[in-house]
Amino acid sequence: MANLDVNSLQNAKKSIPIPPPSPQSAATGYPCEYVVMNNLAQRGRNSCVSSATRDLWERLFNDGYKADVCINTDNGGIVYAHSNIIGVASPVLRAMLKQANRFNRWRTISISGVPHDAVRVFIRYLYSSCYEKEEMKEFVLHLLVLSHVYVVPHLKRECEQKLEMGLLTIDNLVDVFQLALLCDAPRLSLICHRKIIQNFKTVSESEGWKAMKQSHPVLEKEVLESMIEEENSKKERIRKMNERQVYLQLYDAMEALVHICRDGCRTIGPHDKDFKENQPCRYSSCKGLELLVRHFAGCKLRVPGGCGHCKRMWQLLELHSRLCADPNVCGVPLCRNFKQKIEKQSKKDEIRWKILVEKILTTRGIGIASCFRTL
Ligand SMILES: [Zn+2]
Ligand SMILES: [Zn+2]
Ligand SMILES: [Zn+2]
């Protein structure tokens, strides 16, 4: 287990992006005959593993025929293996075998720190890529660590995939997160990180979280920080959405204003046109704007800064004038006056309005307001 470096836990990124899609299902596992064959076929290899071949490898492991390696495990357990096979399957085991004590044909190595059965499942996988479903469920974290330490990438992928597809729970989430960082499994650590943030209330009450707080306070701090960042970016997204809504409403109001002044709608319209009251109108702002225009026409406090409604109307009229392509045909009152006023405006005001107009048009995804262009 020498490769485990606790300090690498601190490399948890502050802001963690969405994990990329999982690579094509790698290996196999339980009831594996057809899975193995299909996977190989998918990868376009000119070979397929028959159940007979798989059974042969399973028997070789189970019977230990001409085995030459004793693997000592915790609590005095022993797993027998073949040096040729485990040495080819794992470069780390190969190096260990080179330095191992020999007695006659036997070489002895130790794999400790994980349960005996986890070692057995691990070695069996090196032979046949097979395991029992229940054993994977029970030892998935041990197998993840073993696959990392002994450099068995296809087992590592298998463990990551099994965790991702269902073995990851709220209870083991924090443990898996830490292991994923230790075992250099970035996709898995991203997934855990996201799940921790999504379920923070429950996770923060779990034993795993409490243990991590004690053993890796820096990691806890980083998760909390990234949570705050996530919250902030959520707020920012909502703010932008609301802002977008405001711009779209303003654009709609601009269209409705031209529509009221040019065609008339319900109670307001040009004197030379006939309009029908209660006719259906496609502009959602029309009704409110109509009330505003009527108020504006009759308000006694119609000085700038006098009445809130009138102030709003002034702003809408000015905005119209800035969007309007031709004051001769728009029919909106004061459009020309505003155009003249704009020329005398201060730089500061000019910039403010320009930004507003630009935002409205880009939110609508257009270069020029269509209601003005078609006039
Ligand atoms: Zn209308
Ligand atoms: Zn007023
Ligand atoms: Zn105009």
Residue 63 has pLDDT above 70, yes or no: yes
Please, which residues have CB within 8 angstroms of residue 285's CB and are 6 or more apart in sequence? 249, 252, 253, 255, 256
pLDDT class for 226, splitting at 50, 70, 90?
confident
Q: Give the tens place of pLDDT for each residue, 158-194.
A: 999 999 888 888 888 888 998 898 888 889 989 998 8
Domains of the chain, each with CATH number or no CATH: 50-165 (3.30.710.10), 244-364 (1.20.1020.10)
Give me ligand 1 centre to Cα 283, in Å.
6
Give me ligand 2 centre to Cα 311, in Å.
7
Q: Which ligand is nearest to the CA of 316?
A: 3
Q: Which of 23, 27, 24, 25 is nearest to 128 (CA)?
A: 27
Neighbours of 374 (CB within 10 A): 8
Percent helix, percent strand, percent coil in the chain, to nearest 5 = 60, 5, 35
75 HSE (CA, 13 A, CB side): 6
Give me ligand 2 centre to Cα 302, in Å.
5
Give me ligand 1 centre to Cα 52, in Å.
78
Which residue would you say has higher pLDDT here, 202 or 71?
A: 71
Which residue would you say has higher pLDDT here, 31 or 223?
A: 223
Dihedral angle sign, alpha carbons of residues 41, 43, 45, 49: negative
Q: Which of 175, 159, 156 is nearest to 167 (CA)?
A: 159
Give me ligand 1 centre to Cα 360, in Å.
21
pLDDT of residue 147: 95
pLDDT class for 152, splitting at 50, 70, 90?
very high
- Express as a percent the part of the chain with pLDDT over 90: 32
pLDDT of residue 80: 95
Residue 28 has pLDDT above 70, yes or no: no
How high does pLDDT run on average in the chain? 81
- Give 106's strand partners: 103
Residue 58 has pLDDT above 90, yes or no: yes
Q: Which ligand is nearest to the CA of 342?
A: 3
Which residue would you say has higher pLDDT here, 82 or 26?
A: 82
Q: Which ligand is nearest to the CA of 321?
A: 3
- Give 103's strand partners: 106
pLDDT class for 368, splitting at 50, 70, 90?
low
Give me ligand 2 centre to Cα 314, in Å.
10
Q: Which ligand is nearest to the CA of 295?
A: 2
Give me ligand 3 centre to Cα 184, in Å.
63
Residue 107 has pLDDT above 60, yes or no: yes
Give me ligand 2 centre to Cα 295, in Å.
6
pLDDT of residue 139: 94
Give me ligand 1 centre to Cα 279, in Å.
8
pLDDT class for 371, splitting at 50, 70, 90?
low
Q: Which ligand is nearest to the CA of 303?
A: 2
As given in the structure block, the two tokens for residue 212 are 């991590």
As a whole number of angstroms, the distance between CA 292 and CA 290 comes to 5
Span of 110-114, 136-140, 274-278, 296-300 with lowest mean pLDDT: 274-278
Residue 91 has pLDDT above 80, yes or no: yes
Q: Give the tens place of pLDDT for each residue, 353-362.
A: 889 888 888 8
Give me ligand 2 centre to Cα 292, in Å.
9
Report pTM. Answer: 0.57
Q: Which ligand is nearest to the CA of 312?
A: 2
Can you tell me which residue has the tokens 């269209």? Answer: 255
pLDDT class for 32, splitting at 50, 70, 90?
very low
Give me ligand 2 centre to Cα 226, in Å.
49
Give me ligand 1 centre to Cα 334, in Å.
20
Residue 343 has pLDDT above 60, yes or no: yes
Give me ligand 1 centre to Cα 18, in Å.
45
Residue 21 has pLDDT above 50, yes or no: yes
Q: Which ligand is nearest to the CA of 308?
A: 2
Which residue would you say has higher pLDDT here, 316 or 367?
A: 316
